[in-house]
């Protein structure tokens, strides 16, 4: 009692002038947050999902990190291409990151994804790593396709990512084939077949969609509408650029593809629909900052003001940054530190990828013919046996 009385009489200790407040850590809470999508969904032959999306602080921070890694990777790929360390075609995804990240958040690795040649970020979203991505871009043997696919042919079978395809629209029938296999095996999974607005007029797309509807396959056709098929504006190439309605008898949904939460909500809705009822078309209203490919400056058919306007008003990373600040999940300094860490992570991955060798000549015929069949290679006159292939 005496000690307690003494303590009550002591003056409160004052903090020294040099004391500092410990910064609040970045939130990793899994408490539910409900956030409204930026714009309403527009639907065709189906009731749209709710605009109220359930997320968590931890998920928002993951979205910011994942999209920032993708953005930095694509910017680095631009520099590597200009340095002639990446050769051939190279199509960059910066601006469209919310589609890859939001889609992955809504599904599982048991679901399948197949896309066109703008595939680097989809590979990362499916669990691919930066080193194998850069190694593939530079044609090295440790690349995700052993250095033989390059930019347009990333692949990750263990995550059901069936790649990048260079033939415009050709991946859509293949995606419907994957959906057929899922239904045949009675799996409660779906396939997302991605294509651009430039491929949306392909006849093979409508043929595949028709048979998918007849057989009620769990196929989700995702049109990543970045509004320019190469250098041609959508309104010059399509009489009806409302791609979500193009399925006619197949339901469709138009989504703000620059809003990662809207993409997540739409893809979850689409998967549930497709597994139960058959195909659905999603139109992701998105935008690419780079040209169609590295050979396209991207400024001859659109203005620089248009590009900067989208960056300022709709950028998917900046939208998540604003949400993080609005919900007091991290400080500006926290996110700046994260971005510095990501920059170093990308630089380290490039350095490691450069250490990898080019594929040897023995790799020329691997993965072409089935092994053990004694396939032989002859000269042009078919008299001289050149090699027996593995």
Q: Render pLDDT for 3-13 as a digit per residue (tens, 0 to 9).
A: 444 434 444 44
Residue matched to tokens 């690419």: 288
Question: How far out from the chain centre does Cα 169 lie?
Answer: 18
Task: Specify the CATH number for 39-359; select among 3.30.110.40, 3.40.50.10800, 3.40.50.2300, 3.40.50.970.
Answer: 3.40.50.970
The mean-pLDDT minimum among 177-181, 349-353, 386-390 falls in 386-390
Q: What is the pLDDT of residue 389?
A: 62
Delimit the domains of the chain by residue range.
39-359, 361-389
- What average pLDDT does the chain have? 92
114 close to 156: Cβ distance less than 8 angstroms:
no
Distance between CA atoms of residues 221 and 304, nearest Å: 31
Residue 295, Cβ neighbours under 10 Å: how many?
9
φ and ψ of 112, to 5 deg: -105, 150
Question: What is the pLDDT averaged over residues 366-385?
Answer: 72
HEC sequence for the chain = CHHHHHHHHCCCCCCCCCCCCCCCCCCCCCCCEEEECCCCCEEECCCCCCCEEEECHHHHHHHHHHHHHHHHHHHHHHHHHHCCCCCCCCCCCCCCHHHHHHHHHHCCCCCEEECCCCCHHHHHHCCCCHHHHHHHHCCCCCCCCCCCCHHHCCCEHHHCECCCCCCCCCHHHHHHHHHHHHHHCCCCCCEEEEEEHHHCCCHHHHHHHHHHHHCCCCEEEEEEECCEECCEEHHHHCCCCCHHHCCCCCCEEEEECCCHHHHHHHHHHHHHHHHHHCCEEEEEECCCCCCCCCCCCCCCCCCHHHHHHHHHHHCHHHHHHHHHHHCCCCCHHHHHHHHHHHHHHHHHHHHHHHCCCCCCHHHCCCCCCCCCCCCEEECCCCCCEEEECC
267 close to 275: Cβ distance less than 8 angstroms:
no
221 close to 195: Cβ distance less than 8 angstroms:
yes
Q: Render pLDDT for 222-274 as a digit per residue (tens, 0 to 9).
A: 999 999 999 999 999 999 999 999 999 999 999 999 999 999 999 999 999 99
At residue 382 the predicted structure's pLDDT band, cuts being 50, 70 and 90, is confident
Residue matched to tokens 């027996």: 388
314 close to 257: Cβ distance less than 8 angstroms:
no
Is pLDDT above 60 for 22?
A: no
Q: What is the pLDDT of residue 361?
A: 83
pTM: 0.90
Q: What is the pLDDT of residue 381?
A: 74
Q: Render pLDDT for 85-143 as a digit per residue (tens, 0 to 9).
A: 999 999 999 999 999 999 999 999 999 999 999 999 999 999 999 999 999 999 999 99
Q: Render pLDDT for 280-328 as a digit per residue (tens, 0 to 9).
A: 999 999 999 999 999 999 999 999 999 999 999 999 999 999 999 999 9
Compute the C-alpha angle 57/62/64, nearest 5°: 100
């Amino acid at each position: 009692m005496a000690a307690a009385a003494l303590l009550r009489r002591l003056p409160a200790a004052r903090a020294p002038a040099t004391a500092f407040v410990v910064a609040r850590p970045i939130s990793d809470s899994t408490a539910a947050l409900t956030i409204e999508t930026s714009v309403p969904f527009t639907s065709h032959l189906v009731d749209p999902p709710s605009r109220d999306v359930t997320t968590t602080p931890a998920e928002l921070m993951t979205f910011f990190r994942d999209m920032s890694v993708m953005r930095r990777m694509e910017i680095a790929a631009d520099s590597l291409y200009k340095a002639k360390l990446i050769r051939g075609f190279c199509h960059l995804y910066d601006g469209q990151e919310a589609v890859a990240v939001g889609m992955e958040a809504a599904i599982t690795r048991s679901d399948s994804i197949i896309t066109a040649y703008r595939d680097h970020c989809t590979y990362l979203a499916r669990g691919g790593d930066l080193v194998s991505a850069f190694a593939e871009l530079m044609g090295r043997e440790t690349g995700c396709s052993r250095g033989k696919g390059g930019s347009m042919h990333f692949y990750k079978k263990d995550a059901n990512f069936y790649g990048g395809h260079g033939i415009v629209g050709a991946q859509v029938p293949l995606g419907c084939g994957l959906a057929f296999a899922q239904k045949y095996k009675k799996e409660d999974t779906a396939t997302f077949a991605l294509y651009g607005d430039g491929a949306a007029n392909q006849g093979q797309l409508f043929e595949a969609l028709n048979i998918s509807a007849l057989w009620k396959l769990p196929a989700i056709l995702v049109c990543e509408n970045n509004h320019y098929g190469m250098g041609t504006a959508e309104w010059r190439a399509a009489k009806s650029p409302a791609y979500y309605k193009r399925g006619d008898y197949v339901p469709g949904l138009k989504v703000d593809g620059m809003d990662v939460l809207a993409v997540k909500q739409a893809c979850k809705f689409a998967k549930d629909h497709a597994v139960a009822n058959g195909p659905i078309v999603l139109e992701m209203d998105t935008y690419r900052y780079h040209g169609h490919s590295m050979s396209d400056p991207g400024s001859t058919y659109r203005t620089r003001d248009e590009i900067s306007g989208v960056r300022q008003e709709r950028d998917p990373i900046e939208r998540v940054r604003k949400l993080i600040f609005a919900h007091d999940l991290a400080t500006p300094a926290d996110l700046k530190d994260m971005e510095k860490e990501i920059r170093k992570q990308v630089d380290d991955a490039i350095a490691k990828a450069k250490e990898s060798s080019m594929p040897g000549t023995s790799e020329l015929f691997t993965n072409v013919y089935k092994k053990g069949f004694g396939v032989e290679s002859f000269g042009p006159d078919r008299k001289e046996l050149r090699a027996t292939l593995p």
